């Protein structure tokens, strides 16, 4: 006589236990942006996973980046053999670049010690943060990237060209335009140029990468999380220019 109600109670509790994980997983907007941005650069779950892992490393090492932008960017760069970064900051991206690159890669980081837009680590601190592998060649080039001698030194250190150029140094219009004009010719066909801070920076008026980015033509890709606000404004965004490969 009591069989009916007992059965109903059992079904209800099973339903509840099935729904619990769904209720507990409440994705935040930044998680959704991360996933959307990842799927825009690759369909490979392995590459996505690697990008997130490297992006987390960068941010742990104080990169001035958002995970939802930097993880897809690192998923996109893959395993480069030669990387040039302009602007070391705290060395966060440098750490991720060394981890991303091949075992025997050449990584050149050009930085003006104590320069504008966030300089602040000594050579020893940057080297320790970069944690380059035994066969990797890590060169820290100290000085103004706009100095032709610094550009020549960088070119001499990368005689076979550059697979990935990441420009994140002087963010003024003249600074970032100069870096782009001087260093992008070093990038090999099929390589990429990344520019950080392509979104209009609402808190730092001197940050004018958006002006340069808007004026560039070619195969452009934007990895942005515009809704991740900073005190009510925007910042960040990575612009990627793909240098056409020889067979194009
Ligand atoms: C925003 S930080 C770089 C952050 C770093 N890319 C990261 O995300 O881990 C900018 C860096 O550019 C450097 N910088 C500014 N002007 C420069 C110049 N003219 N030449 C070389 N480095 C410069 C600053 O010293 C600072 O270390």
Query: For residue 143, what are the CA distances in angstroms to 139, 162, 165, 187, 218?
Result: 13, 20, 17, 21, 30
The predicted model gives 137-152 an average pLDDT of: 98
* pLDDT single digits (tens) 165-200: 999 999 999 999 999 999 999 999 999 999 999 999
Pocket of ligand 1 (CB under 6 A): 63-65, 86-90, 92-93, 110-112, 115-119, 144-146, 168-170, 175
Sheet architecture: strand order including 162-167: 137-142, 106-111, 82-86, 162-167, 187-196, 238-242, 219-223
Count the Cβ atoms, other than its own, within 10 Å of residue 17.
9
Task: Give SS3 for 192.
Answer: strand
Supply the pLDDT for residue 21. Answer: 57
Nearest to 207 by CA among 216, 215, 196, 217: 196
Supply the pLDDT for residue 148. Answer: 98
Q: Residue 147 — pLDDT band, cuts 50, 70, 90? A: very high
Strand 187-196 with 238-242, pairing:
antiparallel
Q: Residue 19 — pLDDT band, cuts 50, 70, 90? A: low
Residue with more model confidence, 116 or 25:
116
Of ligand 1's atoms, which has the minimum distance to the CA of residue 169? 12
Alpha carbons 247 and 22: distance in angstroms, whole number: 48
Q: Residue 18 — pLDDT band, cuts 50, 70, 90? A: low
CA 236 to ligand 1 centroid distance, Å: 14
Count the Cβ atoms, other than its own, within 10 Å of residue 41.
20
Which CATH number, 1.10.390.10, 3.40.50.150, 3.40.50.10860, 3.40.50.300, labels domain 78-242? 3.40.50.150
What pTM was computed for the model?
0.89
Mutational test site, ligand 1, from 59, 99, 112, 146, max ligand atoms within 8 Å of CB: 112
Measured on CA atoms in the order 177, 73, 93, 237, is the torsion positive or negative? positive
């Amino acid at each position: 006589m009591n069989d009916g109600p007992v059965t109903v109670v059992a079904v209800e509790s099973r339903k509840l236990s099935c729904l619990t994980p769904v209720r507990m997983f409440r994705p935040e907007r930044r998680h959704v942006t991360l996933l959307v941005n990842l799927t825009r650069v690759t369909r490979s779950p392995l590459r996505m996973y690697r990008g997130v892992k490297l992006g987390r490393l960068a941010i742990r090492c104080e990169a001035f980046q958002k995970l939802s932008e930097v993880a897809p960017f690192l998923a996109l760069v893959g395993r480069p053999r030669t990387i040039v970064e302009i602007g070391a900051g705290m060395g966060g991206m440098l750490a991720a670049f060394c981890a991303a690159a091949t075992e025997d890669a050449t990584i050149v980081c050009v930085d003006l010690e104590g320069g504008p837009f966030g300089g602040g680590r000594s050579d020893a601190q940057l080297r320790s943060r970069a944690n380059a592998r035994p066969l990797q060649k890590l060169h820290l080039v100290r000085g103004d990237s706009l100095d032709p001698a610094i550009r020549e030194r960088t070119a001499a250190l990368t005689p076979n060209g550059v697979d990935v150029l990441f420009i994140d140094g002087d963010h003024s219009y003249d600074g970032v335009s100069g870096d782009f004009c001087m260093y992008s010719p070093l990038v090999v066909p099929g390589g990429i140029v990344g520019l950080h801070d392509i979104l209009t920076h609402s808190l730092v008026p001197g940050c004018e990468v958006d002006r340069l980015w808007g004026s560039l033509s070619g195969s452009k890709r934007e990895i942005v999380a515009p809704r991740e606000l900073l005190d009510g404004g925007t910042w960040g965004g990575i612009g990627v220019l793909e240098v056409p490969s020889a067979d194009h």
